[in-house]
A and B are shown apart, each in its own frame.
Chain A
Amino acid sequence: MKRAGQGVGVELRDVTFGYRREPVVRDVGFAVPPGGFVGVIGPNGSGKSTLIKLMSGVIRPWRGEVRVAGDDAARLPRAELARRVAVVPQETDLPFPYTVLEMVLFGRTPHLSGFAFEGDSDLAVARAALERTGTLDLAERAVTELSGGERQRVVLARALAQEPRVLLLDEPSAFLDIRHEVEMYDLLRELQREGLTVVSVLHDLNLAALYCDSIVLLAEGRVFCEGTPAEVMTYANLTEVYQTEVYVTMNEITDTMNILPLDAAHREPLSRAREARRPPRER
C-alpha cells in the first residue's frame, strides 16, 4: 500500500492529535493510493473517527501532516479542500426540513460563492448524483421525512455533488439494514472503479474484508498493522487488538475473510488454549 511519493490520494505522515492533553492519534502514517479502497478498522476509541476529521480538515494535527492529492491539507483553503475531499458521516441530524434536492445542492457549496444561485451545471451535477444514488424520485421530499437508508443515500449524493477526488466515510452503514448496507458498498465499489479514492471507517469486519483492497488496523491511536484484508485480519491480530476471541474463517462464496463473534462459553476454552501456547516468560 505504501507506494512512497508519486500519485498519492491521501497520505498521513506521523500524525499526532488529541482533543485534550492526551493524544488520541499517535504517529499515524499510511498512504492511500488514488483509486484505492481502504478500510480503517479498530476497537471503539482507537481513533477511527478522529482520522476522518483529520483527513477532512475539521481538526488540524498537533504534529505531522495530512497530504491530499499532494498538498498539505492545513495549507489548502477550506473550499479547495472541500472540492477534493467529501465526507459521509455516520448520521446527519437535520433540524430543518430541506428538500432532498436542496440538500444535494449543498454539496455545491465549495464551488459557489456567498449568495450565488446554482447554475445549470450545478443542477446537472446534482441530478447526476441523485441518479447515481437512486434518489432522483425523492428530489422534492423533505429530508426529515426520509427513512434511514434513504437519508444516507441522499447524504452520499451530497458528497458526490462536491465532485471530490477522495471520499471519506465514517461508518456510513451503522444505522442501515443488511440490504441497504451492501447496496451502499456496492455503489462505493462502482465509484472506486471509476477512479474515486475511498477511505471508509468500518465497524463491520466482514464488510471490510469483502470490499476493501487494503486495511489499516488501529489500536489505541496507533497503526497496529496494515495490508490486504487477508494479511491484517488474522486470528492473532484481531484477538490481540480487540481483546476478545473470534472465529476467523474463509467465506467460500466470496473467498474473503469472515470474522464471527463467539459467546462467553466458547470464548473461554479458546482463551485458555491461547494462554497455554504463549511462551512461559510472558505468562
Chain B
Amino acid sequence: MPSRAIAFEAAHLTRRRFRAVIAALVLGVVAVALLCVAVGPVRIDLAAALFGFGDASAIDSVILFRTRLPRVLLANCVGAALAMTGAVLQALLRNPLAEPHILGVSGGAAFGGVLTLFLAAGAPVPSYLLTPFGAFAGALAAMLVVYRLGTVNGRLQPYTFLLAGVVCNAFTGALIMAVNAVADLFQTHGILFWLMGSLATTSYPLVLASAFFVALGGVLVARHARALNALTLGEDNATQLGVDVSAVRRLCFVVCSLLVGASVAVSGMIGFVGLIVPHVTRLLLGSDHRLLLPASALVGGMFLSVADTVARSLSSTSELPVGVITALTGGPFFVYLLRRQSSRGLW
C-alpha cells in the first residue's frame, strides 16, 4: 500500500525533512534579517548600501554595516540562545511552560552582572568585558541553587523546581535592589541602563563572541537531542531506554546557564522568548528535539530581530527596550497557554 508508506514517512523525523526544514528556516532568517536592516527611522537604499560596503562616505552603507547589521546579528544570537534554553528546560522539566526567567536563571545572571558593575567600579578593565563573566557565574549559581532545591534523592521534582526558581527570581530581584540602594547615583544609572538591556551594538567582536557561545552551547545540547526526547517521558523511562540521566541533566543545566549568562550579559533581561518560541516551533514542527533545538534557535533569532526592529522603529526620537515588546506579546500568550494546559488537566 503506497499510501501507508507515505504516512509512515510523515509520522517521524527523516533526514530529508530535517534538511528541508532547516534550509527553509535559514532562508527565513536571512530574509528577516534583510527586512530588519532595511527598516528604521532613517530610510536607506539597501542595494546602494550593500554595494557601498567599506566606503566611509556612503552614509547608507555606514548605517547598514555599523549600526543595523551588528544589531540584527546580535538579536539573532540572543534570540537563539534564549529559545534553545527554553526548549531544553521544557524537556528536562517535562513542562511546556518552563522558561529561563521563570526558573530564576536570568535573575541570577542579572544579579551577577549588577554585582560585577558595582564591584568593578574603578577597575582598570572596562566593565563590559567583565559583566559577561559575572552574569555567567550568577546564572550558574542560581541554577545550582534551584537544581539542589529541586532534586530530592537524585530525582528532579518539577514542581519544587519551578517554585524554587520563582523564589530565586524574587530573591535576586531583592539583592539587585539592595546593591542599587548602596551604589552611588552614577553607578545606579549604569546599573539600570544595563538591566534594561538593549541589543544596540556596533561591536563585531561582541557579536562574534555571542555567536561563539551560542554555537558551542547549541552543539553541546544538540548532541543529546535523542536523550532529551527520552527524558520527556520521565527520568525512569529515560534510564530504562539507556540514557545516563544525571549526566545529561547536568550538562544541559550548565549549558543553559552559559547561554542565559551570555545573553543577559549582552542584552539584559529579555523575557518570554524562551517560552513562546519553542512552544510555537513544537506546534508547527513536532516535538523531536533533534529538529526542535536548531529550529527553535533559528525561529528565536527571527522573533527577536523583528521585536527589536519594532522596538526601535516605533518612535524616531527614542526607542522602547526590546524586552517590553517581547513581554507585551509573550505575557498574554503565556496566559493563553496556561489556560489551555489547565483545561487539559496537565496542571
Residues of A within 8 A of B (CB): 19, 53, 56-58, 78-83, 85-87, 89, 92-102, 105-107, 109-110, 112-118, 123, 127, 139-140, 162
Partner of A109, one of B18, B96, B153, B243: B243
Contact B153 A58 (CB under 8 A): no
Residues of the A chain whose Cβ atoms lie less than 8 Å from the Cβ of B96: 95-96
Contact A112 B226 (CB under 8 A): yes
Contact A106 B233 (CB under 8 A): yes
B297 CB to nearest chain A CB (Å): 15
The answer to whether A106 and B11 touch (CB under 8 A), given A81-B242, A98-B287, is no
Residues of the A chain whose Cβ atoms lie less than 8 Å from the Cβ of B230: 106, 109
Residues of B within 8 A of A (CB): 7-8, 10-15, 18, 94-96, 153, 222-227, 229-230, 232-234, 236-237, 239-244, 282, 286-288, 290, 346
Contact B94 A95 (CB under 8 A): yes
Contact A58 B18 (CB under 8 A): no
Which of B8, B222, B282, B290 has its CB near the most chain A CB atoms (within 10 A)? B8
The answer to whether A117 and B13 touch (CB under 8 A), given A86-B240, A109-B226, is yes
Partner of B15, one of A92, A94, A101, A117: A117
Contact A140 B226 (CB under 8 A): no
Residues of the A chain whose Cβ atoms lie less than 8 Å from the Cβ of B286: 98-99, 102
Contact B223 A115 (CB under 8 A): yes
B105 CB to nearest chain A CB (Å): 20
Which of B11, B13, B14, B239 has its CB near the most chain A CB atoms (within 10 A)? B11
A23 CB to nearest chain B CB (Å): 15
Partner of B222, one of A85, A89, A96, A115: A115
Partner of A102, one of B11, B15, B223, B227: B11
| A78 vs B247: C-alpha distance when bound (angstroms) | 12
Given A101-B8, A109-B241, A112-B226, 7 more A-B residue pairs with CB atoms under 8 Å apart are A58-B239, A98-B229, A105-B12, A106-B230, A109-B243, A123-B8, A127-B8
User: 10 smallest A-B Cβ distances: which pairs?
Assistant: A82-B242, A110-B242, A79-B242, A101-B11, A96-B287, A140-B11, A109-B241, A87-B240, A99-B11, A117-B15
A75 CB to nearest chain B CB (Å): 14
Q: Can you list 7 A-B pairs with a CB-CB distance of less than 8 A?
A: A80-B242, A89-B237, A99-B11, A113-B226, A114-B224, A115-B222, A115-B226
